[in-house]
Amino acid sequence: MSTFMANKANIERKWYVVDAAGKPLGKTAVIVADLLRGKGKVTYTPHADCGDNVIVINAGKAILTGNKMEQKYYRTHSGWVGGLKETKYRILMQDKPELAMRVAVRGMMPRN
């Protein structure tokens, strides 16, 4: 018997809804990243896109442990000298609550 390799013909995608209200940001991001990669499936193939579709609701109500609400910064850089921009997590959650979850999940995905 040969090893199973997933391809577009035999991948079945499901839709999942994840509620982030009252849950730590990092733990929720781990669950979402695993669902997006398809790590929970028996047919998981590392080089194939066999993950599921995920919708995260209440991303703005996700919590951080400790004092990270005031101490955590999100940094972006334009590539130019002096182009570093820092935003506190508290301010980011007021302006764009979905961005914090997106950045956390993206950091847990493979870079290929």
User: How do the domains of the chain map onto residue ranges?
Assistant: 8-64+96-107
What local confidence, expressed as pLDDT, does residue 4 receive? 85
Band of residue 5 on the pLDDT scale cut at 50, 70, 90:
confident
Given a cut of 90, whether residue 2 has pLDDT beyond it is: no
The predicted-structure confidence for 83-110, as pLDDT tens digits, reads as follows 999 999 999 989 998 999 999 999 999 9
Burial level of 102, CB count in 10 A (0-12/13-18/19+)?
A: middle
Q: Which helix (H) or strand (E) holds 98?
A: helix 97-107
CATH code assigned to 8-64+96-107? 3.90.1180.10
DSSP 23-79: SBHHHHHHHHHHHHHTTTSTT--TTS--PPEEEEE-GGG-B-STTHHHH-EEEEE-S
What's the confidence (pLDDT) of residue 35? 96
Residues 42-89 pLDDT 10s: 989 988 899 999 999 999 999 999 999 899 999 999 999 999 999 999
pLDDT-based confidence at 3, cuts 50/70/90? confident
Whether 14 has a pLDDT exceeding 90, the answer reads: yes
Q: Is the pLDDT of residue 1 over 80?
A: no
